[in-house]
Structure 1
């Protein structure tokens, strides 16, 4: 495969962009993810990249290594829905752009969503409901391997709740500080959320609350949020909450 990739680069007259991977998580025995561990064990990414670089050097093809941070998340949320491609191709697209020196700004409508307290509270409620479901399933489950998988998801849900809670609190504190600004620039607080954290929070706020899955295959339902900035058209699960007056239907 390394030779095929290098030959394709020569044919196209292009360099090869790869992630500068230091470590690849393989999971732990008994974590309930045996199939994933098996695949990662069979695929030695480090050895493959070493061979790719060696073949490229011998054939005179440049290899550009880039920081791998958040390439998958950015591709999944920004380019997969926008270009109608799967998340793996979208991640590779981000790697290529990074190798060319492009920076990935967060789309305007995603920024607005992260400042929409009503939406964030809805997302938080979705995680709270899932947390209750998982705790109930844990009480009833006797198979240890299945319990491990449930506990792993529960930890993920708890971490997601923390991220959303912290963001909601920061919005509240920013709002109160702006009230007594006495003429100072109310936009002074913008940009306080580090971009890396923002992408992580965005993933938490979008995928499970809207699509019902942590890693969905079909990301096209996010396109109206990304392009039009209208999240209420894709969050059908919010309808019962609206009837109770919990979160109002709204556009950005």
Structure 2
């Protein structure tokens, strides 16, 4: 029996290599022969999982404590990133952090190998598969990730779809941290959220984020791009799912399409909450199987051709203003921001123009944009699919004066009180003539 590999041993015995080539071969043989260290895991409290090769937190970063003698240790920094959402390293880190918190340790075996002067390690452990105890039968804790400002919006939703409580958690403390420290803080946060779900006896609802847009250079959103490059929402959600699996909490992933828009237009003004909490609320309702119908007064707005023409006129005026500002602006970054807004205005014009044309093309027997005339089926499906997007375009800038306003409370009059026609006329929103409009006043 030859330790270090039979082939390498035979090459060294032949003495056909000299100088650096032979030294390189000898180094490779020694690493295979002597460059392996194994520490067997232990459940004992004093061993804390592994007596000789133990993972520890040091200055907020993950290290491996290697025992070299009596009370003599080497602390090696662990460099490890999960390759995907199914990587078992996520599970191990979740279990490790939980064992530190509860001091209920689990055994794990560590094997270190020396290769080309660098130390590589592998960890073996048993993955617990607890029974799922906390399900959506009692409601959900819904989570919406947001980058501007960077925070989590958390909404507690009952099994019947009501909003019970909500809170926000700022994540600004993660920006500027090293990747190791950031991972550690995210693990702590994942445990806190799962513990909240256990306390409320509810499941967890999150968005199924497949691809995240991080922007592109020259889009006028440098600050947002910087945040998105420093923080990845998918990594936090991966940690959250892994901790929930270990603690027996059900996690429901939902399609994120239009959750923010529906929350912003429907529930933010109705419940007097900010748009991010409202978005989390929609995620929770979607996880519970509820469908979001458009309020009646919003449907009336999308059938009001006079108002849609007025909104289109507002965007055309804003487009002219932006073109003039871009020509005068000498600062490249400010000009890029204006160009980005101009693209949004152009997209809004297209949506409104398409809807107005669909209204004009309807037959006299059709019931409006959402009629049931079979000849108009194709147009109707297109309108239905983009209804919330068109509604956002038709409401926010023409009425509130901003593409993404912070205060959405003025929409409550239209949404809840059913005074769309009265508010529209009292605020001069209907064009006086085909060529002109009356300026908007604040509600």
Q: What is the aligned partner in structure 2 of residue 145 from structure 1?
A: 333
Preserved contact between residue 123 and residue 209 of structure 1 (Cα < 8 Å):
yes
1:100 to 254, 276, 288: 288
The TM-score, its normalising length taken from structure 1, stands at 0.88
Q: Which deviations, in whole Å up to 9, do the C-alpha atoms of 1:16-57 show, x marking residues without a partner?
A: 000001111111122221111122223210100000000000
Matches within 5 A, 1:66-145: 66-145=254-333
Higher RCO (C-alpha under 8 Å, 6+ residues apart): 1
C-alpha distance in structure 1 between counterparts of 2:306 and 2:325, whole Å: 29
C-alpha distance in structure 2 between counterparts of 1:236 and 1:154, whole Å: 30
Bigger helix fraction:
1
Preserved contact between residue 210 and residue 235 of structure 1 (Cα < 8 Å):
no
Q: What is the aligned partner in structure 2 of residue 155 from structure 1?
A: 343
Residue 211 of structure 1 and its aligned partner are, at CA, apart by 0.4
Residue 215 of structure 1 and its aligned partner are, at CA, apart by 0.8
Preserved contact between residue 210 and residue 234 of structure 1 (Cα < 8 Å):
no
Preserved contact between residue 33 and residue 149 of structure 1 (Cα < 8 Å):
yes
**Structure possessing the higher radius of gyration over alpha carbons:** 2
C-alpha distance in structure 1 between counterparts of 2:433 and 2:309, whole Å: 16
Matches within 5 A, 1:190-205: 191-205=380-394
The TM-score, its normalising length taken from structure 2, stands at 0.51
Q: What is the aligned partner in structure 1 of residue 249 from structure 2?
A: 61
Preserved contact between residue 424 and residue 430 of structure 2 (Cα < 8 Å):
no
Residue 148 of structure 1 and its aligned partner are, at CA, apart by 1.0
Kindly indicate whether residue 21 of structure 2 is the aligned counterpart of residue 21 of structure 1. no
Q: What is the aligned partner in structure 2 of residue 165 from structure 1?
A: 353
2:420 to 219, 222, 230: 230
Q: Which deviations, in whole Å up to 9, do the C-alpha atoms of 1:164-212 show, x marking residues without a partner?
A: 01100100111xx226x8xxxx742585444330000000000000001
Q: What is the aligned partner in structure 1 of residue 408 from structure 2?
A: 219
Residue 132 of structure 1 and its aligned partner are, at CA, apart by 0.4
Q: Which deviations, in whole Å up to 9, do the C-alpha atoms of 1:108-135 show, x marking residues without a partner?
A: 1101100000110110011000000000
Change (3 A) 1:187 1:178: farther
Preserved contact between residue 302 and residue 308 of structure 2 (Cα < 8 Å):
yes
C-alpha distance in structure 1 between counterparts of 2:200 and 2:425, whole Å: 43
C-alpha distance in structure 1 between counterparts of 2:262 and 2:193, whole Å: 24
C-alpha distance in structure 2 between counterparts of 1:100 and 1:7, whole Å: 20
Bigger strand fraction:
2
- Structure 2 counterpart SS, 1:64: strand
C-alpha distance in structure 2 between counterparts of 1:67 and 1:226, whole Å: 25
209-218 or 224-233, which deviates more: 224-233
| Runs of 5+ unmatched residues, structure 1 | none
Preserved contact between residue 429 and residue 437 of structure 2 (Cα < 8 Å):
no
Preserved contact between residue 208 and residue 256 of structure 2 (Cα < 8 Å):
yes
1:178 to 364, 386, 405: 364
| Runs of 5+ unmatched residues, structure 2 | 1-188, 439-443
2:237 to 22, 25, 49: 49
- Structure 1 counterpart SS, 2:423: coil
Kindly indicate whether residue 193 of structure 2 is the aligned counterpart of residue 5 of structure 1. yes
Q: Which deviations, in whole Å up to 9, do the C-alpha atoms of 1:37-90 show, x marking residues without a partner?
A: 122223210100000000000001000000100000000000000000000000
Q: Which deviations, in whole Å up to 9, do the C-alpha atoms of 1:142-177 show, x marking residues without a partner?
A: 111111111111111011001001100100111xx2
